[in-house]
A and B are shown apart, each in its own frame.
Chain A
Amino acid sequence: MMTDPAHVHSIADQPTAAAPPVVDVRDLRVHFKVHRGLLGSQLVKAVDGVSFAIAAGETLGLAGESGSGKSTVARTLVRINRPTEGSILLSGAETARLSGQDLRAYRRRMQMVYQDPYDSLDPKMTIKDAIGEGLTVRGVPRARRKSEVEELLARVNLPVALAGRYPGQLSGGQRQRVSIARALAVSPEVIVCDEAVAALDVSIRAQVLNLLKDIQADARVSYLFISHDLSTLRFMADRIAIMYVGRLVEYGTSEQVFSEPAHPYTQALMAAVPDIASLGGPRPAPLPGEPPNPASPPAGCAFHPRCPLAVELCRTVAPPLVRKATGQLAACHVVPDAPEVA
């Protein structure tokens, strides 16, 4: 299905600052060929026409259930996966087809922090070497490396004494701080955080979230912050994108999406969060069913089999992502559109 170019354009326009957005993703598609033995192969459209933009010093929160494609978006942004179609503009320059030397330079500007730092840090490398690698890439002279490592450790609130330790000797929270320091070592413009606090203890999460905010205020770095936890996104993000089976179903400012969620899926996601603030109140009936297999999504609107509002049209025609009366973009036939502006 084609995305109307007008909508792609309207998304790119969103950050109101005069400067172009740091990241401008337009109609991104990432398709995988999955081999199924004798049955031949099947095309999985993990990401299928996603557009968003992130301004300097801003955070875009991306949420969705497993199989929604949110991690594929993250991995494509840092080019672990190759985009099948669409464009990824970094500070206005096309990067989707980069390779070789140019791709390496690009990766320096776009860093990623993973869910489990135990997997992403080399267990046989000391903390100072892990962070130092980034400094080498940036071309920091050997003589200044030690002081820069110490500076980075201080920036993520870790004692300098940890520099000689190995990842296995640190706690989960400390390891995640090391991954952040490591990402910062190359002075990136964008950091993609894929469930960066999900594996941390509750009492450590707040520390790391505060730290990420401090770093952003300091360095004006932009975040693509991916989380299944909507309350964390409300705290972190300026803008919110909600994904369902490879597409955005809602996209707007944090304020718009959290105060008046437009898409029935967003509403259901929010209702399902066991929030301590809504304790004792009546619990809404849970959304039925499970997210569909991205290899064989339902026809029409992928959400229609679980949707309480679904009408006949939803079964056959995928709704476009358009501006709704509440101000944000949403892809739903039933929710009223914003009145046409002359």
Chain B
Amino acid sequence: MDLVADVITVEHLTVAFPAREGTGEVVRDVSLAIGAGERVGLVGESGSGKSLTARAIMRLIPQPGRVTNGAVLFDGAELGAKSAPTKWRGTKIAMITQDPLSSLNPLVKIGTQITEMLRYHRRLGRAEARGKAEELLRSVGIPDPRRTMTRYPAVLSGGMRQRVALAIAISCEPRLLIADEPTTALDVTVQAQVLTLLERMTAEHGSAVLLISHDLGVVGNFCDRLLVMYAGRIVESGPTATVIGAPAHPYTRALLSSIPSLRGDLPDRLASIPGSPPHGGGQGGGCAFAPRCPLAREVCRQTDPALLNISDLRTVPGDSHQAACHALGDENWNQAA
């Protein structure tokens, strides 16, 4: 794999929490790579481990969880225990979350929160930082930046707060921006504005983006490549058009057909997935999706399938389509059941 071109590489990441039963592994063997300027979507339901994967990259795993295996490489070098997170957090890798009200300091004026970043990380003078902050706020579409800088986060609307969070996140031109459900709390029209803005700002700075969402429509419309997570594992990955147009994993297929659409035929009933997703990662043993899977057979309950390349092995790794399912490539799977 060409590591030099990738901004971030996550290899065999496993995150575990102490558990009474099972392994407690909420992220299992997750590997991913994001190139400069690339937009990758991480999609999954609650408890799938998508947010913890992002937090592991930021080294913000809440106690008592810990990374039990794997490595995170930034520009090919490990973000090991030796490099203090303050050296790269916020400057090289920035993050925005679902509700900026929880990431912005409620007692500090917007202006101070932005200039703080610029003065501390980019060593700008007071006046210079103020000018740059104004420019940043204007570039994220805040109508009256000077006035907004004197206000507190709580008086802004959700959309405006997310714009401020985005302005702070890009203030140091990070190589990677992690956006964890950035539009989930917003109205659909404001969501479209923020996504368009996110796209423009990251393209201008050449930042790579890891967009985390439960909404296949959001990641599908925004990302070049998708990773689908289920119970802590990546079960499918590939270019957006392939994953959505020709999903290989039964979970991805079921998920796509269970979403109502604005266009096309109107079904009488939605295809639905029986049961509910497991919480607290896999229970050990077989494929975590097996209890809900229409294709599951004995082997699925025994062994966890490996993530395999579906497309021709000659294609470049970045574009490869992978899925973890025993039924893949077995044309007689259904008959033999």
On A, residues with C-beta under 8 Å from B are: 65-66, 171-174, 201-207, 209-210, 213, 228-232, 234-235, 258, 268-280, 283, 285-288, 290-291
Contacts and interface: CB of A to CB of B under 8 A. Distances in A.
A288 B197 CA distance: 12
Contacts, number: 135
Nearest to A285: B196
Given A65-B189, A279-B244, A273 B217 contact: yes
Nearest to B47: A201
Given A275-B261, A277-B261, A283 B196 contact: yes
Closest CB pairs A-B (n = 10): A274-B217, A286-B192, A206-B272, A206-B258, A235-B260, A206-B270, A65-B187, A272-B192, A201-B45, A203-B273
Interface string B207-245: 000000011111011100000000000000000110011
B334 interface: no
A204 B276 contact: yes
Given A286-B193, A287-B192, A288-B193, A276 B259 contact: yes
B75 to A, nearest CB: 31
Contacts of B240: 279
Nearest to A203: B273
Contacts of A174: 276
A275 B255 contact: no
Contact of B187 (A206, A279, A291): A291
B255 A203 contact: yes
A66 B260 contact: no
Nearest to A233: B260
A206 B261 CA distance: 12
B45 A203 contact: yes
Given A174-B276, A279-B245, A285-B196, 8 more contacts: A201-B276, A202-B258, A207-B272, A210-B272, A270-B262, A272-B192, A277-B261, A290-B190
Q: Is the interface of A mostly helix, strand, loop or mixed?
A: helix
A24 B182 CA distance: 39
Contacts of B190: 65, 290
B23 interface: no
A269 B188 contact: yes
Contacts of A207: 272-274
Contact of A276 (B46, B216, B276): B216
Contacts of B189: 65, 268-269, 272, 286-287, 290-291
A65 B188 contact: yes
B286 interface: no
A203 B196 contact: no
B217 A276 contact: yes
A288 B142 CA distance: 12
Given A65-B187, A286-B193, A274 B262 contact: no
Contacts of A276: 216-217, 220, 244, 256, 259, 261
Contacts of B277: 201, 203
Contacts of A202: 45, 214-216, 255, 258-259
Given A290-B157, A290-B190, A275 B263 contact: yes
Contact of B262 (A205, A277, A288): A277
Contacts of B266: 234-235
A265 to B, nearest CB: 9
B108 interface: no
Contact of B241 (A274, A277, A279): A279
B263 A235 contact: no
A278 B245 CA distance: 11
A275 B263 CA distance: 8
Interface of B: 45-46, 157-160, 187-193, 195-196, 214-218, 220-222, 240-241, 244-245, 254-256, 258-264, 266-267, 269-274, 276-277, 279, 292
Contacts of B271: 206
A60 B258 CA distance: 22
15 contacts: A174-B276, A202-B259, A204-B276, A213-B269, A231-B259, A231-B261, A232-B260, A235-B267, A269-B188, A274-B195, A275-B263, A283-B196, A286-B192, A290-B160, A290-B190
Contact of A258 (B158, B222, B258, B262): B262
Contact of A274 (B221, B256, B258, B272): B221
B258 A205 contact: yes
A65 B258 CA distance: 24
A234 B260 contact: yes
Contacts of B245: 279
A273 to B, nearest CB: 6
Contacts of A205: 258
A213 B244 CA distance: 27
Contact of B263 (A277, A283, A288): A277
Contact of B270 (A209, A258, A273, A275): A209
Contacts of A288: 193
B82 to A, nearest CB: 39
A288 B143 CA distance: 12
Contacts of B258: 202-203, 205-206
A275 B159 contact: no
Contacts of A206: 258-259, 270-273
A274 B214 CA distance: 13
A263 to B, nearest CB: 13
A231 B188 contact: no
Contacts of B263: 275, 277-278
A234 B188 CA distance: 16
